[in-house]
A and B are shown apart, each in its own frame.
Chain A
Amino acid sequence: MSTLVKFKIDGVECMAETGTYIVEAARENGIYIPTLCNIRGVKPRGSCRICTVLVNGRPMTSCTTPITDGMEIENNIPEINDIRKAIVEVLFVEGNHFCPSCEKSGNCELQALGYRFKMMVPRFPYNFPVREIDASNPKIIKDHNRCILCKRCIRTIKTDEGKTVFAFKKRGLHLEINVDPEMGDKFTDDMAVNAAEICPVGAILLREKGYQIPIGKRKYDHVAIGSDVEKIKI
C-alpha cells in the first residue's frame, strides 16, 4: 500500500511515496539533483555532499534524507548551486585529473558535473598530490590520482560470500581506497566490470581494455548530466 505525500521543491508542488529519498522523489517529479556518491538502489552514504539541499532551511543531503509530508526543499538556488560547484572544484584540485588523457573522459560524472556547473578554473589552488597507481590486482588498475573517495566500490562490490573487496585506509587527507590483496582468484571478471562501471571517475579501470567506446559516442559527449531526468537538452 503506497502513501503519497506532497512536498515542494523550489516552490513547485510535487508528490512521491513517503519515505522515498529526496533525490529519487525529485527525479520522479522531473527535477534533477546532482549526485556523485549515490547509486540508485544501493543504501546511500552521503559522502560527496553535492546533493545537499535546504530542507526547511537546513542543509541536508538529498540522497540520505527521506521525504516527509509538507517538506519545503530548496534546490536550484544560488547559495546551493555555488556550494555544489565548489564541491566539484574541490574534487578536481584534491587529486590529479587530466581529462584529455583519461580513459573515462566523456563517461566521467565528475567531468560532466564540471560542465554542468560551468566550471572554468577552480577557485582553490591545485594540490598536485603524489599518488600511486596500484596495478597489483590481475583484473583492475586502481589509479589513486583520480579517486574521489565516493565509496561506491566499497559499498557495492562484494565477493560471493559477501566479503569486503574494497575498503578505506587511513583517514582525513590521507584517506585512500584499499583493494584487498588476499582476494586473488576470488576477484572475478564480473566484479572487475562492475567495479569499473560503478566508479564515477576513472579511478578503477579494466586491465588491457582501454578506449572500447570511441570519443564522441560516450555518455556525456552530447547531453548534459541530469538531462535524462529533466527530459530537456541543455
Chain B
Amino acid sequence: MATSVQNIIEKYNKDKTRLMDILIDVQSERGYIPKATITQIANALDISHVDVEQTMSFYHFFSDKPTGKFAVYLNDSAVANMMGRQKVKETFENETGIKFGEVTPDGLIGLFDTACIGMNDQEPAALINGQVFTNLTPFRVKEIVRDIKAGRPLDDMFTAAYGDGENRNELIKSVVVNNIRKKGPILSEDYTPGIVIWKKLPQMSPEQVIEEIKKSNIRGRGGAGFPTGLKWEFCRKAKGEKKYIFCNADEGEPGTFKDRVILTERPKLLFEGMVIAGYAVGAQEGIVYVRHEYKYLQKYLENLLQGARDRNLLGKDIGGIKGFDFDIRIQFGAGAYVCGEESALIESAEGKRGEPRDRPPFPVEKGYLDMPTVVNNVETLCAAVKVLLNGGEWYRNFGTKDSTGTKLLSVSGDCKYPGVYEVEWGFTVNDILEMVGADEKQVQAVQVGGPSGSIISSAEFKRTVCFADLATGGSLIIIGQQRDILTDIVLNFTEFFIEESCGSCSTCRNITYLMKNKLEKILDARGVKKDIDDLVAWGKILKVSRCGLGQTAGNPILTSIKNFRHLYEEKIQKDKDFDSAFDMASAVKESCIAAGRIPTLN
C-alpha cells in the first residue's frame, strides 16, 4: 500500500510544488487521503504535516474520509435545481438508503453535493468517479444505482449514445454533448492546426506579435477585460530567468461551460495560442489549469500534447525558429471556484491552497514561482491565433469599438436551445433571448455573468452585451416566470459564495453568511424594511475584499434588490420596524425537554 503512494511521490520528483498532483493521484486511487498518507507525503517532500493538510483541506474533491468505491457528486447549482435535481437527489437517497454527505455502510456508494460542474446545458448532471452523467432522471438514477450494485464497470453504465464530435473520441467516450448553436472565428472548422506557428511566427518578431494583438484591441475573456496585448507586453518587459504562460481553464462560474466545448473541440487552437503567447513574451513553459470537473478530458488532451510534440509544434526550435523552446503541461484543480482568480490559480499550481495574492505585484511581474507570468482565458488564447492569422485589423471588424471580436456565450436555464453561441459583442439581451428560443413573455429575469454578475429584469433586456455596458465572462441563465427568484436563484448563489470563499479576508468570510442569514429571515416572513437597508449597506463592506470573489459575493442579493426590490418588499412585515426573529419557543425547546418543563413564554 505504502509503495504506491511512494511511487506517486517519485513520479513528481518529490517536488513540493507538485503537491496538488500528488494529492489528486492519491485521492483518485484510494478514494481518500488518510492521515498516515499525509504524514508520508510531508516527510517525503520535507515539509510540515500541516502544510499538506492546508492544501488538502482546502479543495472540495479531496477527502480525509473514504468517499465510497463510487463517489457521486451531484451538481447543486441553481440551474440543476430548475431542471429537476430535487427528484434525482431523492431517488439517489432512496435507492442507496443514505443521505447526501454519507457513504453506504458497505463503502460502495458515496453521495455528495457539488457546485456547478460546467454542464448547465444538460442538467441535472453528476460526476461519478470523474465520469460525467448528464440529463439525469429518477429512472436513470435507479439504473445507475442498480448497475453499481451489480458490479458493472463505470464505462459500461452509459445507456445513451456518446455525445457528438470529439466526445465520442476513444480517449473521451463521454455522453456529454457540445450543444454548439452558433459558430464564429473561434468555433469555426476552418482551421489548420499549426498554421500560425509554421507560416506566421517565423516571419515575425515577438514585438510584432504583441503589436498585432494590440492592434486587434482584444481584451481578456474571463470577465475582467484587461487588454491582452498590454498584458503580454508587460510580461515581455518584466525581468525573470524564466517566464510562464498560464491558460485559465478553471471555468468555475456557475452557468459557464464554453471552455468545456473549446477543450473538447478546439484544443489544438488553444495550444497554438499558448505557443504564440510564449513566443511573444519569451516564455519556456505553458500550463493549462483545468478544473477538476473536466478531468474526463485528461487522456485526450495529454495525447494531443504528445502529438504536438511529435510534430514540432511543441518542444525545441518550434516551427523551425532557432532557440524557441516551449512545452505545455496540464495542471488539474481539485474543486475551488476561487482558483479562477489568476493569482489563486497560480498559488494552486504551486501546490498550495488557492488563496489570492495581494496585488501589486501582478503576475506579469511576479507570478508562478515568482517569475513573470501571463494568465489568459481559454477563449482569449484561441482568439489570438485568429488575430495573427488574419490580422488585428480583420479582428476589429467583429464586435463594437470598445469590445472587439466575438464572445462565446454559455446559455442555460428556461429556453429552448441551451448551449454555446459564438456571437459578436454588441448583441442586446433581447437579441440573445430570440436567438436561444426563449419566449420574452415567459422570461422573468436573466442572470448575466453568473452569480458574480447581475440579475436583470425585462426593463434592461435592451442593454448591450459588451465591456462598456453589460460585461460578462459569458454566462447567461434565463429564468422563467415560474421560478422563485429569491429562493431558487439568489439564495442558491449566495450559498455558493459562502461555500467557495477561501476565508482569508475577514469581510468575504463573514459578511456573505451574515447577508444570507438576513435573506433567510426575510424569506421566513420575519423581515422588516431595515433588513433590506442593512443588506444594501453590508454589501458595500464586501467591496474592500482582496479578490473578485469577495468583492462580488454580495451581487446576487444586491442586484436582485436593485432590480427586483418588490420581491423583497412583498415579504417584509409592513406593520413593524423591528423584529429580532428570535424564537423563544424553539430556543428553549431542548432544555425544556431535558428538564421536563413546559415553559410559559408570555
Contact = CB atoms under 8 A, between A and B. Distances in A.
A167 B53 CA distance: 8
Nearest to A174: B503
18 contacts: A45-B504, A47-B504, A49-B545, A61-B546, A83-B541, A90-B506, A90-B510, A90-B514, A94-B510, A149-B506, A149-B509, A163-B48, A167-B48, A167-B51, A169-B50, A171-B501, A172-B503, A175-B504
Contacts of A227: none
A166 B509 contact: no
B543 interface: yes
Contact of A180 (B49, B58, B540): B49
B511 interface: yes
B342 interface: no
A181 B49 contact: yes
Given A164-B51, A180-B48, A86 B358 contact: no
A220 to B, nearest CB: 20
A48 B534 CA distance: 22
Interface of B: 39, 42, 47-51, 53-54, 57-58, 336, 353, 355, 358, 360, 498-507, 509-511, 513-514, 517, 534, 538, 540-541, 543-546
A57 to B, nearest CB: 12
Contacts of A115: none
A194 interface: no
B514 A124 contact: yes
Interface string A139-167: 00000000011010000000000011111
A86 B58 contact: no
B50 A178 contact: yes
A171 B503 contact: yes
Contacts of A61: 358, 544, 546
A59 B498 contact: no
A167 B50 contact: yes
A173 interface: yes
Contacts of A93: 510, 514
Given A46-B546, A170-B58, A180-B49, A87 B506 contact: yes
**Interface residues of B: mostly helix, strand, loop or mixed?**
helix
Given A49-B507, A87-B506, A124-B514, A172 B48 contact: no
Contacts of A174: 503
Nearest to A183: B48
Interface of A: 44-50, 52, 59, 61, 64-66, 83, 86-87, 90-91, 93-94, 123-125, 148-149, 151, 163-175, 178-183
A47 B503 CA distance: 9
Contacts of A65: 360
Contact of B39 (A66, A148, A172, A182): A182
A148 B50 contact: no
Contacts of A124: 510, 514, 538
Given A164-B51, A171-B336, 4 more contacts: A49-B546, A86-B538, A164-B50, A167-B51
Contact of B48 (A48, A66, A164): A164
* Nearest 3 pairs of A and B residues by beta carbon: A175-B503, A167-B50, A64-B358
A214 B57 CA distance: 40
Contact of A59 (B48, B58, B517, B544): B544
Given A44-B358, A163-B48, A169 B546 contact: no
B577 to A, nearest CB: 16
Contacts of B538: 86, 124
> Which of B500, B517, B541, B545 has the most chain A CB within a 10 Å cutoff?
B541
Contacts of B53: 167, 169, 178
A15 to B, nearest CB: 21
Contact of B360 (A45, A66, A87): A66
A91 B51 CA distance: 26
Nearest to A86: B541
A49 B510 CA distance: 12
B535 to A, nearest CB: 12
Given A87-B507, A164-B50, A179-B50, A172 B541 contact: no
A60 B509 CA distance: 18
A169 B54 contact: yes
A168 B54 contact: yes
Nearest to B58: A171
A59 B51 CA distance: 32
Contacts of B509: 94, 149, 172-173, 175
A180 to B, nearest CB: 4
Contacts of B546: 46-47, 49, 61
Contacts of B39: 182
Contacts of A165: 48, 50
Nearest to B54: A167
Contacts of A94: 506, 509-510
A154 B77 CA distance: 34
Nearest to B359: A64
Contacts of A179: 50
Contacts of A170: 57-58, 503
B546 to A, nearest CB: 6
Contacts of B358: 44-46, 61, 64
Contacts of A46: 358, 546
A95 to B, nearest CB: 10
A179 B504 CA distance: 17
